[in-house]
Amino acid sequence: VDLLPAEDGEEATKHFLQELVNILLAYINKSLKRSSKVLDFHYPHQLKEGLEGFSLELPDQPDNLEQLLVDCRDTLKYGVKTGHPRFFNQLSTGLDIIGLAGEWLTSTANTNMFTYEISPVFILMEEVVLRKMHSIIGWPEEDGDGIFCPGGTMSNLYSVLLARFHLFPVVKTHGMSAIPRLALFTSAHVHNLIIFTQINTTFWFLSVRGKMISSELNSSIETAKSKGLVPFYVNATAGTTVYGAFDPLNEIADICKHHGLWMHVDAAWGGGLLLSNKHRVKLQGIERAHSVTWNPHKMMGVPLQCSTILVKKKGLLQECNQLCAEYLFQPDKHYDVSYDTGDKSIQCGRHVDVFKLWLMWKAKGSEGFEAQINHCLENAEYLYYKLKRRSDFQLVFKGKPEHSNVCFWYLPKRLQSILPSPERDRELHMVAPKIKTKMMEEGFTMIGYQPLEDKVNFFRCVFSNPATQREDVDFLIDEIVRLGCEL
Amino acid sequence: VDLLPAEDGEEATKHFLQELVNILLAYINKSLKRSSKVLDFHYPHQLKEGLEGFSLELPDQPDNLEQLLVDCRDTLKYGVKTGHPRFFNQLSTGLDIIGLAGEWLTSTANTNMFTYEISPVFILMEEVVLRKMHSIIGWPEEDGDGIFCPGGTMSNLYSVLLARFHLFPVVKTHGMSAIPRLALFTSAHVHNLIIFTQINTTFWFLSVRGKMISSELNSSIETAKSKGLVPFYVNATAGTTVYGAFDPLNEIADICKHHGLWMHVDAAWGGGLLLSNKHRVKLQGIERAHSVTWNPHKMMGVPLQCSTILVKKKGLLQECNQLCAEYLFQPDKHYDVSYDTGDKSIQCGRHVDVFKLWLMWKAKGSEGFEAQINHCLENAEYLYYKLKRRSDFQLVFKGKPEHSNVCFWYLPKRLQSILPSPERDRELHMVAPKIKTKMMEEGFTMIGYQPLEDKVNFFRCVFSNPATQREDVDFLIDEIVRLGCEL
């Protein structure tokens, strides 16, 4: 029997989806169980050769439903359980059941955030959620605009387009050659650089903790001006990817005000802290920004993708991006067409990313988010104090973490007694990759590492999964020692 | 009892998700049933005021699970059933059960297409699916690269970045001011214009059917050169949004070759036809393109979002976009790091959009896609011949549709006898909006309308939902007549 829309397909459809849900439920239980592995690692060639009949190749003829369910099971089996309490590898971790439910509903509704006409409920939810986020930032009620978009890079791209258009509206009709050479300023530890490389960009100097030094920003601006460039945009970061550093937003706001520059805050990772009365002080001054990137799919634990660009000035997003393409948006519709948000977006088809966040907010309340975020930062602090006391670990920088990032080296026995030297650094550089290899092959936990500037490979632990408890932090440390002590 | 990850949360989680699935199954059945409405329309103020307890506002304190399930039911109730066989409003329609299953699994896996490390299976599936698409385009096996990205606008943005970098690699390090003023050429009926407005752009003239006239392109290029601009990029469209027109790709390829320009084909909407032996002739010459946008979420019926940028030259995507940010991609990993696709992408977090397409391909085989696409084009032809015979409808242009778009006016009785005149046009312009208003308020079907250039508001019917049958086409026509005959 065929699935819907085939006639009499109702029972077969129900049966197939129920079978799938059973597979998914089993996976969810496993993901959140400490006794199960985080991953069952295989090399690319092993997966490509087909493991026990799991073939990735696409057929000309259809496979049957039983085979598809087996494929679904295999896909999950060979994947990575990003919701596992011992998965520390990325900024986006966790498996929120309500968020998941939100995604299942979203994909069943399968619509597009294009017009009120085809997404009445989701469009209104977007308005409600964005307004809430504006008020949390601290913008006055009459201000505030924004849109959900697919990821922080897109959000940052919007901010550059907005800043440029705000200063030189002529760019929209006459292109880049109609405006002077612009200069943009950002931290070198910015989340994703690529969009900044298309414009004359100054990467400013940082403190040892990866924070912007505001006097450096000021002199960079003066230098750019003296070269005949027009400074227009500063990107401050609230929560850098590796160190979790917060730039001094009030100082940056003063400088932006003085020079008349657009101030953008990339709070993709740090934005969540605004929900915590304890931690929001780290973002003081964010209310003075012209635009903010804030990704609920990071610190708020919302399933990927869920990212926003928030803009202080109402209407600018639409002015900047609208094409007045009547074939897309008809002004003669019978409802208030200001709800046709498609003209704010540079996208045509826009996935519904708001619903899962809306539903999670209903389920947790703002207080639930606050508790969850405080818990993640407590885990970071626990790890920090633990490592501080040990001689086989070394923190990358002194001082309590501001965000949930904890950066550290592990020193195997033979390196503990050697004094710091270029040679020791060369050896130390190879420790993290070796541990990571073993860690992935065994599959009980996962953490990332990287070098940064003059620092050789170090581990970065991040906490964004509320399922993670102190025992998991202990486990991670023990596991690193177990895998690395003989290196 | 709390949900997972709470201790003993397993049963409560299972129960909650099963309850949700029951709601979703009921919605799926309704969506695909002709006897149910496509939508239950409410004005924004009605939904905002809260209908029967459906409140959109976000609380500080948590709501309980029962309330959340009611909210889920309400969200679907007041939405639009885009999978309904009588929903003709967008290019993306339909509710493919296998695609839906793919999305449910994807959101349960909740990972990121960033590295092989965290998405081993999905990364390999992306490679397999892209290779299949390359071979369908007709590129030799040694060629072909690409990436899934969130929508056609992003795909087109990639193509412009690639073309510019290919011609002037210095743009990556020194920005726009280091390169000459560029000129870009595109059809005015392009899918989404906004990304083209940042560069000097020539919109070429079109034939009455909305096709590019290649001699016009040639002279536009000459004109741009004589103004001191450097032509570098031509965007040809395979399947325009309103008319479904296909540009003459071979002629354009000849011109691009002659002038040394990058040829991009926006086949977001038309790409699906490549899977049909009967219809792929309309895209002849696409194999000569340097890059192609192809959105499986349109003509192939894959749930939104599922979009690709396909690039002929291997390695260029990585060269153009990579930052060699070691904090993102570590070269010293234990597997083949060429599978860490994150450096090809301008995104950091990239949603898994490939799995649902992969699973649908398994379920249908290439032959299933072919049959589905042929069926949609047969529906368009059926509608076309039906309208051609009637005096109360008028086609926007003569000749059989090339894609599944059928554009037409409905003429209420009083307009049928009036000869074409500006006054008749003014009257006719108001007919489609009036019918659409009634149509949405009654909710039995949905179709879009728009004006285009000198043409007053006309309906555009598109077929991409395989659930739609001839009886639904008949219904649409009857419904337009019923709602409009007295206007």
* Pairing, β B87-88 against β B145-149: unpaired
Residues of A in contact with B40 (CB under 8 A): none
Nearest CA in chain B to A114: B90
Q: Which two tokens stand for residue B177?
A: 């001011």
Give how far B484 is from chain A: nearest CA, Å. 16
- Give B197's pLDDT tier (boundaries 50, 70, 90): low
- Range picked from A18-22, B168-172, B414-418 for highest mean pLDDT: A18-22
What strand order describes the sheet that includes B291-294? B145-149, B307-311, B291-294, B262-266, B230-237, B182-187, B200-204
pLDDT of res. B386:
98
CB–CB contact A80 B120 (8 Å): yes
Q: Please write the tens of the pLDDT for every residue from B54-105.
A: 999 999 999 999 999 999 999 999 999 999 999 999 999 999 999 999 999 9
- Give A205's pLDDT tier (boundaries 50, 70, 90): low
Q: A327, A350, A379, A435: best mutation site toward chain B, by most B Cβ within 10 Å?
A: A327
How close are the terminal C-alpha atoms of chain B, in Å?
A: 59
- Do residues A396 and A407 make contact, with C-beta atoms less than 8 angstroms apart? yes
Q: What residue segments make up the domains of chain B, in order of their start?
A: 112-351
CB–CB contact B25 A17 (8 Å): yes
Q: A118, A266, A340: best mutation site toward chain B, by most B Cβ within 10 Å?
A: A118
d(CA B195, CA A321): 9
pLDDT of res. B278:
98
Residues of A in contact with B75 (CB under 8 A): 105, 109, 121-122, 355
Does the pLDDT value for residue B343 go beyond 90?
Answer: no
Does the pLDDT value for residue A199 go beyond 80?
Answer: no
Does the pLDDT value for residue B190 go beyond 70?
Answer: no
Nearest CA in chain A to B27: A108
Does the pLDDT value for residue A311 go beyond 70?
Answer: yes
Measure CB to CB from residue A97 to each of B13, B197, B446 and give the nearest one: B13
CB–CB contact B47 A194 (8 Å): no
Cβ contacts below 8 Å, chain A against chain B, sum to 440
Q: Please write the tens of the pLDDT for every residue from B139-178.
A: 999 999 999 999 998 999 899 999 999 999 988 877 777 8
Measure CB to CB from residue A451 to each of B199, B326, B355 and give the nearest one: B326
d(CA A222, CA A183): 11
- Give A198's pLDDT tier (boundaries 50, 70, 90): low
Mean pLDDT, chain B, whole residue set = 93
Measure CB to CB from residue A92 to each of B42, B112, B198 and give the nearest one: B112
Nearest CA in chain B to A345: B194
% of chain A with per-residue pLDDT over 70: 95
- Mean pLDDT over residues B102-110, rounded? 98
pLDDT of res. A53:
82
Contacts of B4 (CB under 8 A, 6+ apart): A28, A29, A32, A97, A467, B10, B12, B13
How close are the terminal C-alpha atoms of chain A, in Å?
A: 59
Give how far A110 is from chain B: nearest CA, Å. 6
Contacts of B482 (CB under 8 A, 6+ apart): none
Residues of B in contact with A181 (CB under 8 A): 177
Q: Please write the tens of the pLDDT for every residue from B456-479.
A: 999 999 999 999 999 999 999 999
Measure CB to CB from residue B79 to each of A48, A74, A121 and give the nearest one: A121
> Among A56-65, A314-323, B102-111, B356-365, where is mean pLDDT lowest?
A314-323
CB–CB contact B13 A24 (8 Å): no
- Give A177's pLDDT tier (boundaries 50, 70, 90): confident
pLDDT of res. B175:
73
Q: Which two tokens stand for residue A411?
A: 């020193």
CB–CB contact A154 B328 (8 Å): no
Alpha-carbon separation of residue B448 from A84, A145, A368, A480, B222 (angstroms)? 45, 28, 42, 59, 38
Q: Please write the tens of the pLDDT for every residue from B122-131.
A: 999 999 999 9
- A277-280's contacts with Cβ under 8 Å and 24+ in sequence apart are A277/A370, A278/A374, A278/A377, A279/A373, A279/A374, A279/A377
d(CA B364, CA A63): 7
d(CA A374, CA B34): 50
Does the pLDDT value for residue A297 go beyond 60?
Answer: yes
Write the class of the CATH domain A112-351: alpha beta
Give how far B51 is from chain A: nearest CA, Å. 12
Residues of B in contact with A176 (CB under 8 A): 176, 198-199
- Mean pLDDT over residues B364-372, rounded? 98
Q: A110, A326, A328: best mutation site toward chain B, by most B Cβ within 10 Å?
A: A110
Q: Going along A164-272, which residue ranges are E strands?
A: 182-187, 200-204, 230-237, 262-266
d(CA A307, CA A297): 7
- Give A197's pLDDT tier (boundaries 50, 70, 90): low
Measure CB to CB from residue A58 to each of B10, B128, B297 and give the nearest one: B128
pLDDT of res. B179:
84
d(CA A81, CA B110): 8
Does the pLDDT value for residue B189 go beyond 90?
Answer: no
Give how far B159 is from chain A: nearest CA, Å. 15
SS3 B203: strand
Q: Which two tokens stand for residue B407?
A: 């554009």
CB–CB contact B25 A14 (8 Å): yes
Mean pLDDT, chain A, whole residue set = 93
**Backbone phi, psi, residue B233, to 5°:** -155, 135
Give how far A133 is from chain B: nearest CA, Å. 11
pLDDT of res. B200:
63
State the maximum Cα–Cα separation within chain B, in Å, rounded to a whole number.
77
CB–CB contact A128 B58 (8 Å): yes
Residues of B in contact with A462 (CB under 8 A): none
Give how far B374 is from chain A: nearest CA, Å. 16
* Nearest one of A241, A235, A371 to A300, comparing CA atoms: A371
d(CA B410, CA B420): 14
ipTM of the complex: 0.97
DSSP state of A61: S
CB–CB contact A153 B82 (8 Å): no
Q: Which residue has the higher pLDDT, B253 or B343?
A: B253
